[in-house]
Amino acid sequence: MNSMKSQRKEMVLRQLEGRGIRDGRVLAAMRKVPRHLFVPAEQQAASYNDGPLPIGFGQTISQPYIVALTCELLDLSGDGKVLEIGAGCGYAAAVLAELAEEVFTIERMPELAELAKENLVKAGYPDVRVVCADGSLGYPDEAPFDAIAVAAGAPAPPDHLKQQLKIGGRLVVPVGSNSRYQELLKITRLSDTDYETISHGEVAFVPLVGAGGWPDEGY
């Protein structure tokens, strides 16, 4: 266990601070959340490596740097309501739970939704709400949100998600015409009809499948 803790500290120092992540609360969250509890047993030795890892069903746990960058761009102050699209194994939702008061995460695959629930409880985050649904449509029952993070690449920023932001709310979403490579966009809602969009570089996510994303073609 001490070895895992030291690996987390090294990950934060080299992969996050070394690449320009500066938000102290994000760095503390990444130091705290036990990433090794969210990866399959056969991947545990690689838990703190600099890259994504397979978690089954054609999905991955995102690279630690991308999780930290997304969280930093969301600009969370600790008392907000956050929606994550693409729970996967639950890791990013656990990090978000260190940064926000309420976290809801949506996963379209029932098997992964159950896995995320189990992992979050095991890691000490039972209050995160995991919902099995089409994440591209957001979660209107709990809208509006202070921030929305999307962990899958969309062909365009989903309107359903933009509309579920509070005024001043932030949406971080990978967007690209190719289903495997995208730009990471931060979209801030300025008013009922106006949004500001800033690109934060190229990324590679699995596709966002659903009514507001890519069609399901075996992804």
CA nearest 122: which of 163, 146, 142, 94?
Answer: 94
From the centroid of its chain, how far is CA 164?
Answer: 17
CA atoms of 120 and 114, how far apart (whole Å): 10
User: Class of the 2-203 domain?
Assistant: alpha beta
- As beta bridge partners, residue 199 has 185
Domain boundary assignment for the chain: 2-203
Do 130 and 152 contact (CB within 8 A), yes or no? no
| 15-19, 42-46, 169-173, 194-198: segment of lowest average pLDDT | 42-46
pLDDT in tens, 163-217: 999 999 999 999 998 767 899 999 999 999 999 999 999 998 888 999 988 887 6
Which residue of the set 62, 77, 136, 191 is catalytic? 62
pLDDT interval class at 58 (50, 70, 90): confident
Is 62 considered catalytic here? yes
Per-residue DSSP letters for 181-204? -EEEEEEEE-SSS-EEEEEEEEE-
pLDDT in tens, 84-114: 999 999 999 999 999 999 999 999 999 999 9
